[in-house]
Structure 1
Amino acid sequence: MAHFIRDTCIGCTACVKVCPTEAITGARDQVHLIAPELCIDCGACTMACPVECIENDRGEILPRIRKRTEWPKPVIDPVSCTGCQFCVDVCPFDCLEMSGDTFHSIAVLVDPKACVGCGLCEEVCAKDAIDVRFPPKESVA
């Protein structure tokens, strides 16, 4: 089930910029729409929305996460990664690259700032070498 934008949308386009599948459309300053057939329920739009008007697939409105450093990111297990490059090919924001030598290369996250944590890389990994997860919370001492 796709995410849904409520009529409280201000048309700022923040969601459009982070949507990995280009499922969100709309003119600036007008309510945007999400095409359910393109939405992959990644939640990137909900994390970017400044007015918190996007419902997830359960009808919940999740709060905006202001710092992109707190958004989920792929963690790659170098032992499990076989270097197939599927994750690199599927990444809509070119955040992953292959690193290593001719005999053994692995995927690495090279642009964490551009990554929206959509999970496409995790979904396509046949070896379960990628886990997209929120970064650990910093403890306050």
Structure 2
Amino acid sequence: MTQKHENDISFLIRKGAFNIHQALGPGLLESVYEMLLAHELRKFGLEVQTQVALPVVYDGLKLENGFRIDLLVENKVVVELKSVETLLEVHHIQLLTYLKLSGHKLGLLINFNVPLIKSGIFRKVNGLEEQSASSALTSAPSAG
């Protein structure tokens, strides 16, 4: 099986989010979008884990369930889902913290409660080397 680069996985995640948003729109619970996006990504042949425990280690103390990652795709891309009226700065920082604690290099913050899904998708990186110039994306809202 060929290993997919994080950017290729990101493209499929955004495509799945677009498919769901186009069919159902905003206004559903975050947990519903989580189940639907996991389903879409599995249809694309991706390995998807939901509600992945992320331990926190501090001063010799290990908290096994310090955080929960909404979706971990191909054991490479962290996806944090929201269904809120307004994303706050803390939501962006939360994803960066998840990347730092997990050692993963790419994360997507997706807020489904928007009129156009492309305005609700944000890409965050943690030391990711781009696959090529043609696959480089911005950290601003991504195209849906």
Q: TM-score, normalised by structure 2?
A: 0.25
Greater Rg by CA: 1
More helix by share: 2
Q: TM-score, normalised by structure 1?
A: 0.25
